[in-house]
Amino acid sequence: MFSRHALLLAATVVALAGCGSQQVAAAPAEQAPAVSATQSPAVTAPALTITDPWVKTAKKGMSAAFGTLVNNTDAEVTIVSGTSPLSPKIELHEVVESGGKMIMQPKEGGFVIPAHGTHELRPGGDHIMLMGVAQEVLPGARIPFTLTVKGGEPLEFTAIGKDFAGGKEDYQPGMGHK
């Protein structure tokens, strides 16, 4: 015979099942649709994305773009170059110490994003350098970019103009730029 607790538990389960709970039980494994290595799921994340892309406001001359590159693949991804209508010349840069000073220089080999990893582009670190900017970048401006991926599809995104004075970076010629 059932104990009083077992009957109470059974009644609770029946009552909860009829309450329209938001939880959905998983189907038994033999009923779940199989996805083989050659099939792709219905929804897949893009191979490469960027989060929070922004460009430092500037009157003209030089500026830089930042954000976090996100690799959604099983292999490392390398960014080798970039373009933007804002600048006739773009370089992938890093900030390194040289002779006791921090200097900017082109990033040898580009930006490497590990499999299922991220690569931060930030002031004082790796960044996308815009040279020869002829028009003012105002706060809120929408700046299109295309990054070239070694052996892959390009990454197109829009970065937002943003005032930034942290670290006192000055992306102008002669300011520790190689």
Q: Which of 59, 124, 107 is nearest to 86 (CA)?
A: 59
Q: What is the tens place of the pLDDT at every residue in 78-92?
A: 999 999 999 999 999
Tell me, what's the pLDDT at 42?
54
Distance CA 120, CA 111 (A): 10
Dihedrals phi, psi of 10, to nearest 5 degrees:
-65, -40
**96 contacts 102 by C-beta, under 8 angstroms:** yes
Confidence band of 141 (pLDDT split at 50, 70, 90): very high
Confidence band of 124 (pLDDT split at 50, 70, 90): very high
Tell me, what's the pLDDT at 45?
73
- Helix, strand or coil, per DSSP, at residue 10: helix
Q: Judge whether residue 113 has pLDDT over 80.
A: yes
Higher pLDDT, 19 or 64: 64
Distance CA 138, CA 163 (A): 8
Residues in the chain: 178
Q: Would you state the structure tokens that stand for residue 121, as one six-digit string?
A: 């582009």
DSSP conformation letters of 114-128: -TT-EEEE-TTSSEE
pTM of the model: 0.70
The residue extents of the domains of the chain are: 48-168
Confidence band of 175 (pLDDT split at 50, 70, 90): very low
Q: Which CATH class is domain 48-168?
A: mainly beta
